[in-house]
Structure 1
Amino acid sequence: MSYSFSRDAVENNTLDANEQFGYQLNTTTGVLQMQTASGTVQSLNDPNFVKITAFSVTDSSPPVLSLGYRCPTVCLAGTPNCPQMFIRRYDLVLTATSALDSTVVRTMNTTIRARNDQTTGACS
């Protein structure tokens, strides 16, 4: 899973190497890794104790939310450039096995809501 965002003090409208991040599962070693700035990869678990066997992130975002009802003159949903909000939500599943006792297996399921909902459009 990868993501990126611009974080320049002075925006250059270019996605720089230090603005790309992500997570990946190394299935050979059972290590979950995080890509930090400039492509550096950091292990998030010690495979001598815990091996990650599954990692998935699924987009579970709800439908786009129309905000046209908030305009001084109501903007009907579907009208071009009508204001709307995109809420970003993801389901995360992580399964791990103890490297010391293979009968110990745990799965974690959680839902993550990303900050900073995206709004587009404008009232006319």
Structure 2
Amino acid sequence: MYDNYKYKTTVEIRFADLDAFGHVNNATYLTYVEVARTKYWKQVIKWNWKKTGIVIREVNISYIKPIVWGDKIFIYVRTSKIGNSSFDIEYKIVKREKEGEILCSIAKTTCVAIDLKSKTSTPIPETERRRMIEFEQLH
């Protein structure tokens, strides 16, 4: 559905994710994008966690439609911008209904590569940078 997104994964809704109104709690969306992002890094980028860490500098989430117990949700993930030590990842959270995929939320995280010893920002490792650029066809 989203041609500019080449990676899509599922995330399971847990009963504990629901609020008093039966919706997925707004804070849980952050966990959902974390799960999707981690799968993307592991499966596509093959990030070397023993060499370089990643921290989140900024998160933006827009809520469009509620997600409720029983919904089948998918998350599209893509790297949209790469700097020297930081990069942006964008997400589309959708649920499948009879009409097709319904957009529920849009999110973006700004991620920063960090040196695990000094705990300071470091340039994105060349191997991971190349994989992001090639997979996403960034220039």
Asked if TM exceeds 0.5, the reply is no
Structure with bigger strand share is 1
Greater RCO structure (CA 8 Å; 6+ sep):
2
Whose radius of gyration is greater, 1 or 2? 1
